[in-house]
Structure 1
Amino acid sequence: MAIKICVFDAYGTLFDVASAARRAADEPGRDALRAVWQDLARDWRLKQLEYSWLRAAAGRHCSFWQVTQDGLDWALEACGLQADKSLRERLLALYWELQAYPEVPRMLATLKERGFATAILSNGSPDMLDGAVSSAGVGASLDAVLSVEDVGVFKPATPVYDMVGARFGCAPDEVLFVSSNGWDAAAAAGYGFVTAWVNRAGAPTDRLWAAPHHILHDLTPIPEIAANA
C-alpha cells in the first residue's frame, strides 16, 4: 500500500535533545558545564532512555518528565555538578524549549503540501510535547501529537504503535515511521510500519528482531521516501 501518514518520534528526531545543555553551557557563569556539556547531554539522554525501558519491563510506568529528571540527576552527578541546583533547574527549563533540527520545518511543510498526514508518536508526556511543538513552531504542520501516557507504557511496547492505527484508521504498511533511535525504528519495522532511522551519529545498526527500511543522515529525504515507498 502507499504511504498515507508520516509519524515521527519527537526527542532526538524532530527536537535536538542536546540543545538544552549546549544553550546552558553558552550562558555566562557556566564554566564548569562548558567543559563537560557534551558528556552531560549524552549521559542525560542515555539514562532517560534506559529508565524508560526499565520501567516498561518492570511495569513501573511514570511520566516521561520523571525519567527526564532522573536521567539528568544521574548525569549531573557523573559530571560532578550535582551540587549546582540552579544549573539543574535551568537545564530542566530549557528542556521545555528544545530547538528543532534545521531541516524540520521545511520537511514537515513539504509533507503537508504533498497531502500526507503527519503526527508525533512519543514517550513524552502531553505537556512536554506541547511545549516542544510550540517552541519549535511546527504545530501547524502536525495533524496529531500522540503520547504514550494514553496507554501507560513506553516504547517499544506494541500498544504504543497501535495508537497510530487507532487515531488514523490506517493499516501499518500505510505508515512511514521515523525515529532517531535505531531500536525504535527497528521495533516499528517489526510491527509492520515502513521505517526510517535518522542516524545522525553514524552509529552501528542495533541487532534486534527487525531492522529499519531506510537509514538517513538527516530528515531532508523524508518527503521523497514517503512518496516512493
Structure 2
Amino acid sequence: MNTAPICGYCRQIVELRSGIVIPHWREDFSSSLCPASYRESTRVRWLRGEEFERYQLERAAKANRRRQQLRATHDVARRAMNPYDDDPVPAPELLPMHEGRRYVAVMLPGSGPADVWLPGKNRGEQRRFIGRFLPSTHGLRWNEKRGCWSVPTRHFLELARHLLRYNQVIMLGREFNPFEKCNGACRHATRPDCQCSCRAKYHGKGKWKAGWIEVNEFDTDYHGDSWHWTVFTRNTDGR
C-alpha cells in the first residue's frame, strides 16, 4: 500500500529522520523554511491508499497549473521584449526558388551585412536559431529592407557551415559585378567577399567551399543588381 508522511503545515511530502522532520522550504515561499522543519514527527500526517492517490492527483494538477501560469507569464514577458517574435517571415523578394522550393539561404550583398533566411520559422525562432552559431548576438540585426535577419559579413561562411550541418541543402547568394575581371587578389583572398565576374569560383582558390557539394548554380537580376546563387549539399561524411 502506498503511504507517505505529509507536513501538517504546508501539505508537502516530507522526509523523517529519527522521528524528526527534515528541513524543507514552504511551497509558496521558497526562501522560507516550513515551521515544521526540525520538529518531531507529530507534525506530520500519514496518507495511505486512496487518500494518498487523491493527494498525488491533486498535487500533479496543481503543478501543471503552475507550469501553465509560468509559461503564460514568460510568453507575455517575451512578447513585451520582442513584440514581433511571433511574426511570420516570408522569403525575401530577392531570394529565388530552386526547382520550385525555398531553401535556407545566406546572402552576401555588395555592401553591408550578410542576410539570412530560414523557411518555416517565425521571426523569433529564426533569431534564436541563428544566434546559436554566432560568437555574439550583438551583430544580429533585423533588416527591415530585406525582411530577414542580418549578420556581420565576417560570419558569412562560418554561419553557412553551421546551417549546412542542420540542413541537407542551403543556398548561398552573392551580389557580383559581371564587368569586374578576376585577378590575383581574388584568387589569394582569405575573406569571403567576392564581387568579381568569377562568381567566387576561384575566390581564395575555391578553398572556402571545401567539403561542400555543388548541386546547381545560376544568376539572377534583382532591380538591376546581378546575383549569383549556388546550391550546396553536404558531402557523405557530413563535414
Shared fold (TM-score greater than 0.5)? no
Larger relative contact order (CA 8 Å, sep ≥ 6): 1
- Which of the two has greater strand per residue? 2
- Which of the two has greater helix per residue? 1
Normalised-by-shorter TM-score class: under 0.3
